[in-house]
């Protein structure tokens, strides 16, 4: 077992973790392989070596570079900004995850699920793999160092909802029989969505380079792939899609975003927002159910108990769901009677937490009293006396 890397700054860690000869280049294709001393002068570079993932990198196609701060998400270690359009790559330093053929698949899948969840929360490009990124050591970009902390995956998972499945899954009749088929299917779906933009540039050479770069990014998670295998698959996809694809079937989806006036980036943004809202609503429903379960068990719901029940951190509960714990100071006694007589559900919380049929809470001055059939008369007399 090797000695841990001695880290001084985030940029020191970046430099030390680079492969001896990383992929690099002055464009996004990054098709050059150069020694580290030469590669760090290029605009784009592979931030992780072929054997391990040291960095999770996210591509922001919007100008809100501090979205992580606004949404209460973990801080990135590095922000690498494009001065011409305000877009950026966010770098998160993680405990290294081995991705060789002998590596255990569980940690790799866990890392990918956490990365998808964080990408969703950051409103980042969901199709970006992080294989090639803006080089934070290159003067062409504006680089901001924020901190040197190395995140554990569990630490990130407590702040976001990991997403186990890829954003684009294959249909049952498209299940690949080999990794080559899997790469082919993933690459063709990406190409269907991108070819219209590249046809506008009217350069098939640029299109071919883009498809190859995407193929290399997808194939990066399969260490057994050779460069020639990936190149042949990319050539097949790029040639057929460029010359024969007409757009049939590209508008499939529950949102029906088939309007040609909507850009691909806008479609991706709308889809990401919809998915994020669905997941947020589902999480809130889990919190509501946990609160009700504690109440039914004759317990005062606390944020710590609810966090333990739903598998979130107490900080997340406090930051995002504190409003669900708000109770009125004096519930009306007629409302309590109706609830206990099973006439209707009563909502005591600010955001419609449904109280159980037999159990409600009465907050009297600073004392919280559990109201049941056995003591409701006593509580009501005390209310009238107050």
Q: According to the model, what pLDDT value does residue 123 have?
A: 87
> Is 382 part of a structural domain of the chain?
yes
Alpha-carbon gap, residue 149 to 165, rounded angstroms:
28
- Tokens 């559990």 correspond to what residue? 370
Residue 210 near residue 122 (C-beta atoms within 8 A): no
- Are both 199 and 269 inside the same structural domain? no
237 and 299 co-located in one domain: no
Residue entry with tokens 């793999």: 129
How many helices, marked H, and strands, marked E, lie in the chain? 13, 10
Beta bridge partners of 24: 32, 45
The label of the residue with tokens 């379960």 reads 293
According to DSSP, the residues that pair with 362 across neighbouring strands are 369
Among 297, 321, 345, identify where a domain stops: 321
* Per-residue confidence (pLDDT) for residue 30, from 0 to 100: 86
Residues in the chain: 386
Do 21 and 130 belong together in one domain?
yes
Q: Is 330 among the domain residues?
A: yes
Q: What is the mean pLDDT of the chain?
A: 75
The whole-number pLDDT of residue 89 equals: 95
- 256 found inside a domain: no
Query: Do 126 and 2 share a structural domain?
Result: yes
Residues 158 and 283 in one domain: no
Question: What is the tally of structural domains in the chain?
Answer: 4
Q: What φ, ψ does residue 81 adopt, rounded to 5°?
A: -105, 140
Range of the domain at 336: 326-386
* Domain co-membership, 173 together with 210: yes
Task: Let me know if residue 227 belongs to a domain.
Answer: yes
Triad 150, 153, 158: Cα angle to 5°: 110
Write down which residue in 106, 141, 166 finishes a domain.
166
Cα distance between residue 150 and residue 91, in whole Å = 11
95, 54: one domain: yes
Q: Is 105 exposed, middle or buried (0-12, 13-18, 19+ CB in 10 A)?
A: exposed
Helix or strand holding residue 209 (H, E): helix 204-219
Asked if residue 359 lies in contact with residue 295, where contact means CB atoms within 8 angstroms, the answer is: yes
Structure tokens at 120: 């969703």
Burial of 58 (0-12, 13-18, 19+ CB in 10 A): buried
| 172 burial level (CB within 10 Å; 0-12, 13-18, 19+) | exposed
| Tens digits of pLDDT across the chain (386 residues) | 444 444 579 999 999 999 999 999 998 888 889 999 999 999 999 999 989 999 999 999 888 889 998 888 999 999 999 999 899 999 999 999 998 888 888 899 899 889 988 988 898 888 788 889 999 999 999 999 999 999 999 999 988 888 766 554 444 344 444 567 777 878 888 888 888 878 877 678 888 888 888 887 776 555 556 777 788 888 889 888 888 888 754 444 545 555 445 566 666 666 666 666 666 677 788 888 888 887 777 778 888 888 888 877 888 788 778 877 765 444 444 544 444 454 434 444 444 444 444 444 444 444 444 544 455 455 455 555 55
Q: Are 43 and 27 in contact (CB under 8 A)?
A: yes
H or E segment and range at residue 187: helix 179-201
For the stretch 163-221, pLDDT in tens is 766 554 444 344 444 567 777 878 888 888 888 878 877 678 888 888 888 887 776 55
Same domain, 56 and 156: yes
| Cβ contact 64:54 at 8 Å | no
Q: Is the whole-model pTM more than 0.75?
A: no
Determine the pLDDT at residue 218: 72
Residue finishing a domain among 215, 250, 285: 250
DSSP string covering 341-356: TTS---B-STT-PBPP
Nearest residue to 212 via CA among 5, 90, 32: 32
**Separation of alpha carbons 131 and 219, rounded Å:** 10
């Amino acid at each position: 077992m090797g000695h841990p890397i001695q880290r001084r700054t985030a940029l020191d860690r970046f430099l030390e973790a680079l492969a001896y000869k990383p992929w690099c280049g002055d464009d996004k294709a990054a098709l050059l392989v150069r020694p580290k001393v030469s590669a760090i002068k290029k605009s784009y570079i592979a931030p992780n070596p072929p054997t391990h993932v040291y960095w999770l990198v996210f591509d922001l196609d919007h100008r809100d570079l501090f979205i992580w701060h606004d949404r209460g998400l973990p801080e990135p270690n590095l922000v690498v900004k494009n001065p011409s359009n305000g877009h950026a790559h966010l770098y998160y330093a993680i405990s290294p995850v081995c991705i060789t053929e002998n590596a255990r698949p569980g940690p790799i899948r866990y890392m990918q699920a956490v990365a998808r969840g964080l990408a969703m929360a950051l409103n980042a490009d969901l199709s970006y793999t992080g294989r090639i990124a803006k080089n934070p050591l290159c003067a062409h970009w504006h680089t901001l160092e924020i901190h040197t902390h190395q995140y554990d995956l569990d630490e990130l998972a407590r702040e976001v909802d990991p997403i186990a499945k890829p954003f684009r899954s294959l249909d049952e009749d498209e299940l690949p029989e080999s990794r080559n088929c899997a790469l082919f299917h993933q690459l063709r779906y990406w190409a269907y969505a991108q070819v219209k933009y590249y046809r506008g540039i009217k350069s098939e050479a640029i299109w071919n380079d883009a498809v190859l770069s995407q193929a290399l990014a997808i194939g990066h998670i399969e260490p057994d792939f050779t460069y020639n295998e990936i190149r042949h698959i990319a050539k097949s996809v790029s040639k057929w899609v460029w010359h024969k694809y007409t757009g049939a079937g590209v508008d499939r989806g529950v949102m029906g975003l088939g309007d040609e006036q909507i850009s691909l980036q806008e479609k991706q943004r709308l889809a990401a927002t919809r998915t994020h809202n669905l997941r947020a609503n589902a999480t809130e429903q889990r919190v509501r159910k946990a609160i009700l379960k504690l109440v039914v068990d004759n317990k005062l719901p606390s944020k710590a108990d609810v966090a333990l029940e739903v598998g979130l951190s107490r900080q997340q509960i406090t930051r995002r769901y504190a409003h669900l714990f708000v109770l009125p100071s004096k519930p009306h006694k007629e409302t309590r009677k109706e609830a206990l007589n099973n006439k209707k559900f009563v909502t005591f919380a600010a955001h419609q937490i449904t109280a159980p049929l037999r159990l409600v809470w009465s907050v009297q001055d600073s004392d919280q009293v559990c109201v049941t059939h056995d003591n409701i008369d006593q509580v009501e007399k005390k209310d009238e006396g107050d």
